[in-house]
Amino acid sequence: MTSKPSADFLLVGASELVTCAGNAPAVGAEQSRVAVIENGAIAARDGMIVWVGKEKNIDAEVDVAAEATRLDVGFRAVLPGLVDTHTHMVWAGDRGDEFDRRLEGATYSEILAAGGGILRTVDATRQATFEALLSAAGARLERMSRWGTTSVEVKSGYGLEPASEYKMLETVLELGKRHPQELVPTFLGAHTLPREARGSQRARERYVDLVCEEMIPTVAKRHLARFVDVFIDEHAFGLAEARRVLESGRRAGLGLKIHADQLSSDGGAELAGELGAVSADHLEHLSPEGMSALAQSGTVAVMLPGATLFLRSHAYANGRALIEAGVPVAVATDVNPGSCPSESMPLMMQLACLYCGLSVDEAIVAGTANAAAASGLEDRCGSLEPGKRCDLLVLDAPERRQLIYKLGSPQIHMVVARGLVLS
Ligand SMILES: [Zn+2]
């Protein structure tokens, strides 16, 4: 006789328990594999799921402690907590005033020339204390959680010099200690060139040297990040520089991510495929060669439709073509002060359906199981299965479609991270 798992947390009353169970990332036809259990229940212990099944089987299959937390969600849909696999959520300062200027027609270059843009965020982030960064990012994390996000990948990249880059990554690590949400730090020293490296080719080369020879080895040695990322773009880094950054990261034992093909076909997806990156992100201008490179390597394509919307570029990543080519697709906010201030994962999943060609169920997998895989978290979250963290969201509706249908304002009844109800 097998012994029943014991539980200190029990959730019942799920009209639809959307588990997204199975291998991640899900590819092709599997992209819509939401694996629903009707009238479902979940049992957990110490924040980890120990049992998932039909509510009527609880007594026979689970040993629920007398003092266990018991939640009856009252015939509502329950989904895995959302995984935001591409964010820049640690920064200081505010750039809300640039929004008016952009609406009046100012270009990116004009805003930069007037002292705005990313370098303004770099100045504010360099000057901010660790505590100030922690408080700003903590407030963002709480708001993101209200939209159902329970795991977040967070990039550095507003320091652009060693001490400030490490300060950003330490902020992410400290946030992870203080909150039940799962945080994954990524080193993005190659986000853009700092002001002091913009004067000459030699200064530029020195900055790439600093990233590859000093910052990456230090970040790896001090376990400050799990991934290294690089921004390939005419305003940022070229393909050869990106290759150097990623190869340095790989030598140091970090996983690889790339900002690729956002404003033009820049060869980023091909490089992601060649180097076996865990994800290639943006892909608004993905080439056919890039698409097949991603399909061959199994790299997850992370779409960031909020940036396309906010920049009014009208170029959305073609999620439909990616899925049909056999590339696993995820979606994320890209939350940052310049190109996408939205903290809402449901909004991004809605845009993925409206503009990138995904179905409701494909978008749900893109924001959960496949996003977990793009963050290196597929063994820990992204689905409701025994052995995973008890991270979930309860919709204030009996069926999952409402998460995507209610544009801009899905009603979320409750969010749970590591078995704790977030208020
Ligand atoms: Zn980004």
Q: What is the helix (H) or strand (E) element at residue 54, kind and residue range?
A: strand 48-54
Question: How many angstroms is it from 145 CA to the middle of ligand 1?
Answer: 20
Task: Report whether 80 contacts 381 (CB < 8 A).
Answer: yes
Residue 88 Cα to ligand 1 middle (Å): 6
Ligand 1 centre from 395 Cα, in Å? 28
Q: Tokens at residue 220, please? A: 């790896």
Residue 122 to residue 32: CA distance in whole angstroms: 40
CB 373 within 8 A of CB 302: no
- In the reported structure, the alpha carbon of residue 190 is separated from the centroid of ligand 1 by a whole-number distance in angstroms of 11
From the CA of 186, how far away is ligand 1's center (Å)? 11
Those residues whose C-beta lies under 8 Å from the C-beta of residue 338, and which sit 6 or more positions away, are: 95, 98, 117, 118, 121
Closest CA to 229 of 332, 82, 114: 332
Task: Supply the pLDDT for residue 34.
Answer: 98
CA of 87 to the centre of ligand 1 (A): 6
What φ, ψ does residue 37 adopt, rounded to 5°? -110, 120
Rounded to the nearest whole angstrom, what is the distance from the C-alpha of residue 259 to the centroid of ligand 1? 6
Tens place of pLDDT per residue across the chain (423 aa): 568 999 999 999 999 999 999 999 999 999 999 999 999 999 999 999 999 999 999 999 999 999 999 999 999 999 999 999 999 999 999 999 999 999 999 987 888 888 889 999 999 999 999 999 999 999 999 999 999 999 999 999 999 999 999 999 999 999 999 999 999 999 999 999 999 999 999 999 999 999 999 999 999 999 999 999 999 998 899 999 999 999 999 999 999 999 999 999 999 999 999 999 999 999 999 999 999 999 999 999 999 999 999 999 999 999 999 999 999 999 999 999 999 999 999 999 999 999 999 999 999 999 999 999 999 999 999 999 999 999 999 999 999 999 999 999 999 999 999 999 996
Ligand 1 geometric centre to CA of 423 (Å): 29
- The C-alpha atoms of residue 360 and residue 366 are separated, in whole angstroms, by 10
- Between CA 392 and CA 369 the distance in angstroms is 12
The alpha carbon of 334 and the centre of ligand 1 are apart by a number of angstroms equal to 5
At 314, the amino acid letter reads: H
- CA 261–ligand 1 middle distance (angstroms): 12
CA–CA separation, 283 and 301 (whole Å): 8
pTM: 0.98
pLDDT of residue 2: 67
Q: Are 274 and 293 in contact (CB under 8 A)?
A: yes
Ligand 1 midpoint to CA 351 (Å) = 17
User: What is the Å distance from ligand 1's center to 163 Cα?
Assistant: 21
In the reported structure, the alpha carbon of residue 75 is separated from the centroid of ligand 1 by a whole-number distance in angstroms of 38
Q: How far is the CA of 268 from the centre of ligand 1 (A)?
A: 14
Which domains, and CATH codes, for the chain?
6-81+383-422 (2.30.40.10), 82-374 (3.20.20.140)
Quote the ligand 1 centre to 282 CA distance (angstroms). 8
Please tell me the distance between residue 117's alpha carbon and the centre of ligand 1 in angstroms. Answer: 14
Contact present, 226 and 155 (Cβ < 8 Å): no
Cβ-contact 332, 371 below 8 angstroms: yes
Ion ligand 1 nearby residues (CB, 5 A): 334
Question: Hey, what are 77's tokens?
Answer: 């849909």
> How far, in Å, is the centroid of ligand 1 from the Cα of 3?
47
Cβ-contact 52, 19 below 8 angstroms:
yes
Distance CA(414)–CA(25), nearest Å, equals 26
Ligand 1 centroid distance, CA of 188 (Å): 9
- State in Å: Cα 199 to ligand 1 middle: 25
Rounded to the nearest angstrom, the distance between the alpha carbon of 260 and the centre of ligand 1 is 10
Task: Give 1 Cα–ligand 1 centroid separation in angstroms.
Answer: 52
> For residue 298, how far is its CA from the centre of ligand 1 (angstroms)?
21
What's the rounded Cα separation, in Å, for the pair 203 and 182? 37
